[in-house]
């Protein structure tokens, strides 16, 4: 019964759900509205992140930000960062209290709105990949 109800809410037939075919993709995933600001919620490869803009400079081109992300049961912190709206570069320092570690990261916004880049712990030359994008909001027929 729950499958039928969910299929109905998604605008899919029961048969589509059983086959795993999504014939009405536009009814399911609606991209978030376009925005130039980094402020708000993000899905990252290490967990959900919230960014807060604290101030602006360079005629409104550069946002100075802080924030945090949830990684498992831990909270990491964007201690300071900048986002250049024109270049699409987001650079920041972070701390991970559960490791007693700090580090830096740099992302670049792609044409698809997804940020991709690298991070490393302070004093460690090796870098790892990190990416982030706006959460995808599900929409249902009639919304």
Q: Which domain holds residue 109?
A: 32-136
One domain for residues 61 and 129:
yes
Q: Is there a single domain that holds both residue 79 and residue 13?
A: no
For the full predicted model, state whether its pTM sits above 0.75.
no
Question: Residue 3 has what pLDDT?
Answer: 36
Q: Same domain, yes or no, for 122 and 79?
A: yes
Give 90 or 141, the one with higher predicted confidence: 90
Predicted confidence at residue 126, as pLDDT, reads: 93
Domain assignment of residue 71, yes or no = yes
Residues 39 and 4 in one domain: no
Q: How many domains does the chain have?
A: 2
Q: Does the residue 109 lie in any domain?
A: yes
User: Same domain for 117 and 72?
Assistant: yes
Helices and strands (H and E) in the chain: how many: 3, 10
- Give per-residue pLDDT as tens, 83-100: 999 999 999 999 999 999
141 found inside a domain: no
Residue % of the chain over a pLDDT of 70: 72
pLDDT of residue 83: 96
The band of 140, judged by pLDDT with boundaries at 50, 70 and 90, is: low
Q: What is the CATH number of the domain that holds 47?
A: 2.40.128
Q: Do 65 and 77 reside in the same domain of the chain?
A: yes
Output the pLDDT for position 96. Answer: 97
pLDDT range class, residue 59, cuts 50, 70, 90: confident
CA 16, distance to chain mean position in Å, is 30
**99-125 mean pLDDT:** 95
Whether 25 and 57 map to the same domain: the answer is: no
Whether residue 67 lies inside any domain: the answer is yes
DSSP 32-63: PPP-S---EEEEETTEEEEEEEEEEETTTTEE
Distances (CA, A) of 47 to 22, 65, 86, 114, 118: 27, 18, 26, 15, 15
77 membership: H or E segment, kind and range: strand 74-84
Q: Are strands 115-121 and 89-96 parallel, antiparallel or unpaired?
A: unpaired
């Amino acid at each position: 019964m729950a499958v039928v109800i969910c299929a109905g809410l998604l605008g899919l037939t029961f048969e589509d759900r059983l086959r795993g075919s999504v014939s009405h993709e536009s009814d399911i995933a609606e991209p978030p509205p376009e925005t130039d600001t980094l402020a708000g919620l993000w899905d990252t490869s290490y967990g959900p992140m919230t960014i807060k803009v604290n101030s602006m400079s360079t005629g409104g081109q550069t946002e100075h930000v802080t924030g945090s992300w949830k990684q498992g049961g831990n909270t990491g912190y964007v201690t300071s960062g900048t986002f250049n709206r024109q270049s699409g570069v987001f650079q920041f320092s972070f701390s991970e209290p559960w490791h007693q570690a700090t580090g830096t990261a740099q992302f670049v916004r792609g044409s698809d709105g997804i940020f991709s880049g690298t991070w490393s712990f302070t004093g460690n030359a090796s870098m790892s990949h990190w990416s982030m994008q706006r959460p995808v909001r599900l929409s249902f027929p009639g919304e």
